[in-house]
Amino acid sequence: MWGPPGGEKRRILSGMRPTARLHLGNLEGALRLWTELQHEQECFFLIADWHALTTGYQHTDRHRALVREMALDWLAAGLDPKASVIFVQSDVPAHAELALLLSMITPVPWLERSVTYKEWLSEPEVARAAGLGLLGYPVLQAADILLYRATEVPVGKDQSQHIEMTRDIAGRFNHLFGEVFPEPEARHSEHPILPGTDGRKMSATQGNAIYLGDPAGVIERKVSSMFTDPAKVYKGDKGHPERCPVFALHGCYTRARLAEIRDGCSSGALGCVECKTELAGAVVAGLAPFRRRREALAADPGALEDILEDGARKARGVSEETLARVRDAMGLWPRAT
Ligand code: SF4
């Protein structure tokens, strides 16, 4: 078994599908952790644009724009191209080749058991259009991770099965052809999974997200419409902050006042209107530095392209080395150089 070459650092791989604008849940649940990890470990972050096609191949008119928007959001959130390798998946063809090779050894029942696959099939529109790419997305995901011999993959607790599948595929490959891949571990974020405006997990597909690019007035409107503890109707009613999505967002944006807000809600001294107004102001203020950085980055599209091209060049170097080992282990015809 071999992992990242030399050094003490472990290697991290993570990514996102560019299917929608990013929201507070993406920022607090993933990007905050990534920006910390990039200074501690060797990090690869991919914009998973091929994965975006598994459920959205009919609607590619905004594909390039969404890739660009995601890159801008990542950089504005603090990902540093000098500290991390940031690239677009389709810019590194080795992902497709390794996915093809891994698809040969991955039993179909493993894929059919995927919780995410079943969830997607429960949506009639997705189920009607489902192709082989949707069933096989865990194989492409395994290729994304294994190409970089990643040792850790930051994921939400609800995504652990994805990493289990990658470990199973790596283990099966190693059993069949000899030790080539390290089996990566899931790294769970200590950062919170944020609720959306309706109290369910914040998600672009649920229509409950507060987006990083929302203007101040939109943020204020969305926060004012958020679900709250149903037991607290009037100011003076005693609330249960732990049941309230507004309080969960206060945990990220008004940390210094969290104890006071909890006590005010529980005692009835704090009303929901006041509580939400304070939260909306804190979210708008908290996003201000992000917005300033994003506007500066957007004003220089050439610099963004250079960052992604440089990231792809570095990613191609590592991934081609892995693929050469894979082809050799499988006894495939040597590729002319
Ligand atoms: S006072 Fe704040 S934390 Fe308490 S229920 Fe109302 S909105 Fe939620």
At 5-20, the pLDDT tens digits run: 544 468 999 999 998 8
For 37-79, the pLDDT digits (tens) are 999 999 999 999 999 998 878 888 888 999 999 999 999 999 9
* Residue 256 covered by a domain: yes
Residues 98-129: tens digit of each pLDDT: 999 999 999 999 999 988 888 888 888 888 88
Residue 8: its pLDDT value, please? 47
Report whether 186 contacts 153 (CB < 8 A).
Answer: yes
- Residues 53, 175, single domain; the answer is yes
- CA 155 to ligand 1 centroid distance, Å: 29
**So what's the pLDDT on residue 276?**
98
User: Could you tell me if 180 and 217 lie in one domain?
Assistant: no
Does residue 109 share a domain with residue 19? yes
For residue 276, give the ligand 1 atom closest to its CA. Answer: 7
- Verify that 63 and 154 share a domain, yes or no: yes
If DSSP codes are grouped into helix, strand and coil, which group holds residue 215? coil
Distance 283 CA to ligand 1 centre (A): 16
CA distances from 256 to 17, 47, 69, 199, 262 (A): 34, 34, 32, 23, 12
Atom 4 (ligand 1): residue with closest C-alpha?
265
Atom of ligand 1 nearest to the CA of 241: 3
Closest atom of ligand 1 to 244 CA is 8
Distance 247 CA to ligand 1 centre (A): 6
State how many domains the chain has.
2
What is the 240 CA–ligand 1 centroid distance (Å)?
Answer: 8
pLDDT above 90 covers a percentage of the chain that reads 77
- Helix pair 94-103, 137-146: axis angle to 10 deg: 120
3-state DSSP assignment of residue 17: coil
Domain for residue 60, yes or no? yes
For residues 147 and 237, state if they share a domain: no
> Tell me, what's the pLDDT at 2?
46
Q: Report which protein residue has its CA nearest ligand 1's atom 7.
A: 272
**Is 335 inside any structural domain?**
no
Q: State which ligand 1 atom lies nearest to the alpha carbon of 270.
A: 1
Nearest-CA residue for ligand 1 atom 6 is 272
In this prediction, residues 306-310 reach a mean pLDDT of 98
Considering the entire predicted model, what is its pTM?
Answer: 0.89
168 plus 91 within the same structural domain: yes
57 with 187, same domain?
yes
Specify whether 89 is located in the same domain as 131.
yes
Tell me how far apart the alpha carbons of residues 320 and 334 are, in angstroms, rounded to a whole number. 13
Contact (Cβ atoms closer than 8 angstroms) between residue 101 and residue 146 = no
Q: How far apart are CA 1 and CA 133, in angstroms?
A: 29
The two tokens of residue 277 are 């107004």
> Residue written as tokens 């005692």?
267
* Dist. CA 122 → ligand 1 center (Å): 34
In a domain, 199, yes or no: no
Cβ < 6 A, ligand 1 pocket: 228-229, 232, 239, 241, 244, 246-247, 265, 270, 272, 275-276
CA 59 to each of CA 62, 71, 91, 135, 207: distance values in angstroms, whole numbers, following the listed order: 7, 20, 20, 19, 18
Do 306 and 247 lie in one domain? The reply is: no
Mean pLDDT to the nearest integer, 74-94: 97
Any domain includes 207:
no
Out of 197, 265, 277, mutate this one to test ligand 1's pocket (max ligand atoms within 8 Å of CB): namely 265
Model pLDDT for residues 241-294, shown as the tens digit of each residue: 999 999 999 999 999 999 999 999 999 999 999 999 999 999 999 999 999 999
130 and 96 within one domain: yes
Q: Work out the angle at residue 15's Cα, subtended by the Cα atoms of residues 53 and 74, and round it to the nearest 5 degrees.
A: 110
Q: Residue 279: which CATH number?
A: 1.10.240.10
Residues 219 and 187 in one domain: no
Q: Is 122 inside any structural domain? A: yes
- Is residue 249, in this structure, part of any structural domain at all? yes
**Residue 229 alpha carbon, nearest atom of ligand 1:** 5
Q: Which atom in ligand 1 lies closest to the alpha carbon of residue 266?
A: 4
Residue 97's CATH number: 3.40.50.620
Q: Are residues 154 and 235 in the same domain?
A: no
* Ligand 1 centroid from CA 158, angstroms: 27
**pLDDT for residue 300:** 93
Give me the domain span that covers residue 238.
213-294
The answer to whether residue 63 is domain-embedded is: yes
